[in-house]
Amino acid sequence: MAVDWADDAPATETAWTRLTPAERTTIERIDAERLHHERAGMSPRFADRLLEPQYAVRNRFRLWEHLIRRLEQDSLGDGYLIDLYFNDLASRDSLGTIMEAHPELAAGELGTLLTSLDRRFDAATDFDGGTERRRWTTRFESEQLSPRWSRRPRTLPWEH
């Protein structure tokens, strides 16, 4: 079942229509580096078939907005496991790294979008100081994590 990003990540899709040519060029460079990285971990047979990175910048924004919309609607569902939540948080953190490395993106449409999405995430989750995260893993060091790692969904789908 394909996701209709216009319905599921409308803020991201709208932001993409407003990017400047310079912003698009920067994103294309970032995505080209990511594609090289993703292909490096594959056999040549599969690498040749990968035409764009799974974790392209646009896809990372889409996935972050997708998570937030599901949190807002309290609809993560029983199949949403803690590892998926950790992956979504790590993907969001990678957007922060991209913004830090490319201040021209942070100062534009994508910086505004990310700030808005982060506010929505904060409003749709509860602060627990990382208690829920520590129940499941010790592989993440607290001092290396963004504040989002100290927040949890209001309803824990992995508890069902």
C-alpha distance from residue 107 to each of 19, 132, 137 (Å):
12, 33, 35
Query: pLDDT tens digits for 36-50?
Result: 999 998 999 999 999
Q: What residue numbers bound the domain in which 119 lies?
A: 5-159
Number of domains observed in the structure of the chain = 1
Provide the pLDDT for residue 142.
66
Which residue stretches of the chain have pLDDT < 70? 1-2, 140-143, 160
pLDDT at 160: 67
Exposed/middle/buried for 12, CB within 10 Å: 0-12, 13-18, 19+?
Answer: buried
pTM of the model: 0.92
pLDDT at 6: 75
> What pLDDT does residue 2 have?
65
Per residue in 122-136, pLDDT (tens digit) is 999 999 998 888 888
